[in-house]
Homo-oligomer: A and B are copies of this chain.
Amino acid sequence: MKNILKNIPGNLPEELFQTLVKNAGVHIERIVSRGHASPAGEWYDQDRNEFVLVLKGAGHIEFGNGRTESLEAGDWLEIPARVKHRVAWTAPDSDTIWLAVHYS
B76 & A2 in contact (Cβ 8 Å cutoff): yes
How many copies, total?
A: 2
Tell whether A12 is near chain B: CB-to-CB under 8 Å: no
A3 at the interface (CB under 8 A from B): yes
Beta-carbon contact of A99 and B23 below 8 Å: no
Q: What is the total number of residues of chain A having a CB less than 8 Å from a CB of chain B? A: 25
The yes or no answer to A61 lying at the interface (CB within 8 A) is no
Let me know if A101 and B53 touch, CB within 8 A.
no
Which residues of B are found within 8 Å of A78, using beta-carbon distances? Answer: 20-21
Contact residue among B4, B51, B75 (Cβ-Cβ distance under 8 Å from A28): B51
Do A74 and B26 have beta carbons less than 8 Å apart? no
Which residues of A are at the interface with B, using a C-beta cutoff of 8 A? 2-6, 20-21, 23, 25-26, 28, 49, 51, 53, 55, 72-76, 78, 99, 101, 103-104
